[in-house]
Structure 1
Amino acid sequence: MTTPLRLVIFDVDGTLVDSQGDILAAMAVAFETVGHPLPAREQVLAMVGLSLEVIFPTLVPDADAATHARMVQRYKDAYVALRAEGGVARSSPLYPGARQALEALHAVPEVLLGVATGKSRRGLDKLIEGHGLQGLFVTQHCADFHPSKPHPSMILGALSDTGVAPRDAIMVGDTSFDMEMAAGAGVAGVGVSWGYHDAARLGAFAHTVVDDFDGLQGALNQVWGQLA
């Protein structure tokens, strides 16, 4: 029996790379700009994965649209400056085993790789270039062109790009937003426990949760086996 073409879609921040240092620093700049106290670290990280246009109105609901837009721009400017200062590998290091897992999956002819991220197109391009990941992801969807997670638009775009059926696709991510997005698109979700949401938050939508990249291939095979 021929193995069907399959697609593994990855979130970025909190899944492939640990960018929390720059995220928190850029958030501090954005909040200082408008004279608003910075929320607690846990509150900020709980929002990672959503688009900035959703994050700031949620964290500062009493501010007007112009203030929110100013915070978005200040965050973006600060994040770019931090990345330029420290370099991608330092500011957003890959989690242990991430590169090896991506390369192993990429080597399988029947498996395609994709990205669905709350990052901007510019930010995603810089990260891929900085880590030398060019050519791994055949489909890339980001916040510039889609509604914020957990809307399924990014995954639906990836399915359309590749022609892969929903039952043959899996979303890998660290937040409940990723898992809800997967469910909304009709694809399976595999959660990772090392990111910005507690693993307990993933359970309602994730088919399974892995604790390291060494366990990812087995989890993918398990999910595809269950859906066969």
Structure 2
Amino acid sequence: MTDPLRLVIFDVDGTLVDSQGDIVAAMTVAFQDVDQPVPDRATILSIVGLSLDHAMARLAADRSAATQARMVEGYKNAYVNLRAKTGAADSSPLYPGAREALEFFKRQDNLLLGVATGKSRRGLDKLLEAHDLEHMFVTQQVSDHHPSKPHPSMIETALAETGVETQNAVMVGDTSYDMDMALAAHVSAIGVGWGYHDVSLLSSANRIVSTFAELPDAVAGAWKATAA
């Protein structure tokens, strides 16, 4: 019997790349520009994965919608400027083992790769170009076209674009938003231990890995579990 078509969907920030330096710096600028106290690093990183407007609404919940909108634009401008100074590859480096894991999966028959990220289309394009990953992912879901995580829209669209059934898909991410999105979309979820949410928050994960070297076995285990 022919193996079914399968799909591994990756989150980006905190999963494939470590972009926390620019995220914290850009958020600091956004708050300072409107003379607001800057949240601490842990609080800022806790919203990574959400679409920017949702993230800002959480961080600046006591500010007006107009002020939050100004802060969103301030963040975007600061992030672009920071990325331009150092280049996306240096400001958001791949985690150790990320490229090797992606290349391993890319070589597998009947397996497709996708992205589901809170980044904008522009931000994702810049990042993929910087790391020479433009052709790695056959489906790319960004914040421009979807409700914020953990709404399942990104995964549902990825499944529709690729024709993969829910039991043959897995979501890999570092935040509770990724895990809860996978749960809502009825796909398996693998949490990673090197990202921006403590592993204790990844309660919806089917499995948690601590290195990219563990990921192939974890993904294979997800297929076995759904086939059982």
TM-score band w.r.t. shorter chain: over 0.9
Residue equivalent to 1:38: 38
Q: Is the Cα–Cα contact under 8 Å of residues 125 and 134 in structure 2 kept in the other structure?
A: no
Indicate the residue corresponding to 2:171 in structure 1. 171
State the partner residue of 1:54: 54
List aligned pairs for 1:13-162, cutoff 5 A: 13-162=13-162
Q: In the TM superposition, what is the alpha-carbon distance from 1:105 to its structure 2 partner?
A: 0.3
RMSD over equivalenced CA pairs, Å: 0.6
Match status 1:211 vs 2:210: yes
Matched position secondary structure for 1:196? coil
4+ runs deviating over 3 angstroms = none
% identical aligned pairs: 60
CA contact (8 A) 2:50 2:149 kept: yes
State the match for 1:185 in structure 2: 185
Query: In 1, Cα distance between the equivalents of 2:212 and 2:62?
Result: 41
Please state whether the residue corresponding to 1:113 is helix, strand or coil. strand
2: CA distance, partners of 1:207 / 1:73: 37
The residue number in structure 2 matching 1:5 is 5
Structure 1 residues not aligned, in runs of 5+: none
Q: 2 CA distance for matches of 1:58 and 1:72?
A: 12
**What SS does the aligned partner of 1:12 have?**
coil
Deviations 1:150-208 (A, max 9, x none): 00000001000000000000000000000000000010100000000011111x21000
Could you list the runs of 5+ residues in structure 2 that have no partner in the other structure? Answer: none
The aligned amino acid for 1:180 is D
Cα distance in 2, alignment partners of residues 57 and 9 from structure 1: 27
**Structure 1 Cα separation of the partners of residues 57 and 24 of structure 2:** 17
Aligned to 1:223: 222
SS of 2:171 mapped into structure 1: strand
Provide the TM-score with structure 1 as the length reference: 0.98
Distance of 1:94 and 1:119 partners within structure 2: 16
Give the AA of the match of 1:119. Answer: K
TM-score by length of 2: 0.98
SS at match of 1:114: strand
Shift of 1:109: 2.0
Partner of residue 194, structure 1: 194
Hey, what's the Cα distance between the residues in 1 that align with 2:196 and 2:171? 16
Equivalent residues of 2:18, 2:93 under 8 A apart: yes
What whole-Å deviation, never above 9, does each CA across 1:70-123 have from its counterpart, x for those lacking one? 100110111011111001111000000000100110111210000000000000
The count of residues paired between Structure 1 and Structure 2 equals 227
In 1: Cα distance, 2:128 partner to 2:57 partner = 29
> What is the CA deviation profile of residues 42-96 of structure 1, one whole-angstrom value per residue up to 9, with x for unaligned ones?
1110110001111111111121111111100110111011111001111000000
Please tell me the residue identity of whatever aligns with 1:216.
L
